[in-house]
């Protein structure tokens, strides 16, 4: 994966990566050209093609990087543990770790997932959450008859929800700590959104 790279190559890739994020922030992801990138990075246009096929290729490499980082964390999450912690009024630690990752990489995620960013990245994250949940939840519900909602539907719901949840946090200045985030998500997951926001049975 990580071929041993010449310093020069590392530097070039680093410059391109920075130029990419800057350009998204400045003029939005759509319509970034190779010429834009090399101008901003102050490198020769031909040099770009020594590393990437085109702008989409550069984007996909960046996406893959962060995808890996996320996978490493998400693969350890256990919905059963979340439910257990929630029913005992505790916070599931796996969630805290997940939000700590987003917090640490916030600069990148904020731009990339923001209004000017690249939404295919959002899709990738959602799909990742979804796949992992599928593995975990499938085990639990096989053979049961009392499920009110098919697991695949529910997983689609939750995966989108959790991404939207993080996104909102990123785009409103990250006012809560990762632990507070986990606490809130636990409430919503356990009680359901309606009761979590204060609707009361009467």
Partner DNA sequence: GTGATTAATGAACACTGTGTCCATTATAAA
Partner DNA sequence: TTTATAATGGACACAGTGTTCATTAATCAC
Residue 100: contacted member of DNA, its own copies, none (CB under 5 to 8 Å, by partner type): none
CA pair distance 185, 190, nearest whole angstrom: 8
CA pair distance 50, 134, nearest whole angstrom: 39
Which residues between 42 and 61 bind its own copies (CB under 8 A)? 56
Residue 169 lies near its own copies (rule: CB under 8 A): yes
* C-beta separation of 31 from 69 below 8 A: no
Sign of CA dihedral 77, 171, 177, 157: negative
Residue 19: contacted member of its own copies, DNA, none (CB under 5 to 8 Å, by partner type): none
Q: Which of 18, 26, 27, 45 binds DNA (CB under 7 A)?
A: 45
Q: Which of 83, 99, 125, 128 binds its own copies (CB under 8 A)?
A: 83
**How many CA atoms within 13 Å lie on the side-chain side of 141?**
18
What does each C-alpha distance from 64 to 56, 106, 124 come to in angstroms? 12, 16, 9
Residue 47 lies near DNA (rule: CB under 7 A): yes
- Kindly tell me the number of DSSP H helices and DSSP E strands found in the chain: 11, 0
Question: Least CB distance from residue 1 to its own copies, whole Å?
Answer: 25
Q: Summarize as ranges the residues that interact with its own copies (CB under 8 A).
A: 30, 56, 79-80, 82-83, 86-87, 115, 119-120, 122-123, 126, 137, 140-141, 144, 146-154, 156-165, 167-169, 172, 184-185, 187-199, 201
């Amino acid at each position: 994966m990580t071929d041993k790279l010449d310093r020069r190559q590392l530097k070039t890739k680093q410059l391109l990566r920075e130029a990419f994020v800057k350009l998204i922030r400045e003029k939005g992801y759509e319509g970034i050209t190779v010429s834009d990138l090399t101008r901003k990075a102050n490198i020769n246009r031909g040099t770009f093609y020594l590393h990437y096929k085109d702008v989409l290729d550069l984007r996909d490499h960046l996406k893959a990087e962060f995808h890996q980082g996320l996978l490493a964390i998400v693969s350890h999450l256990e919905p059963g543990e979340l439910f257990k912690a929630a029913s005992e009024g505790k916070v599931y630690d796996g969630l805290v770790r997940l939000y700590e990752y987003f917090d640490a990489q916030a600069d990148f995620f904020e731009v990339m997932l923001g209004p000017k960013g690249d939404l295919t990245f959002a899709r990738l994250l959602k799909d990742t959450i979804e796949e992992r949940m599928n593995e975990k939840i499938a085990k639990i519900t096989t053979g049961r008859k009392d499920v009110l909602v098919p697991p695949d539907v529910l997983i689609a719901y939750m995966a989108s929800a959790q991404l939207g949840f993080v996104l909102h946090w990123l785009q409103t200045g990250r006012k809560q700590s990762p632990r507070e985030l986990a606490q809130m998500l636990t409430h919503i997951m356990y009680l359901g959104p309606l009761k979590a926001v204060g609707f009361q049975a009467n």
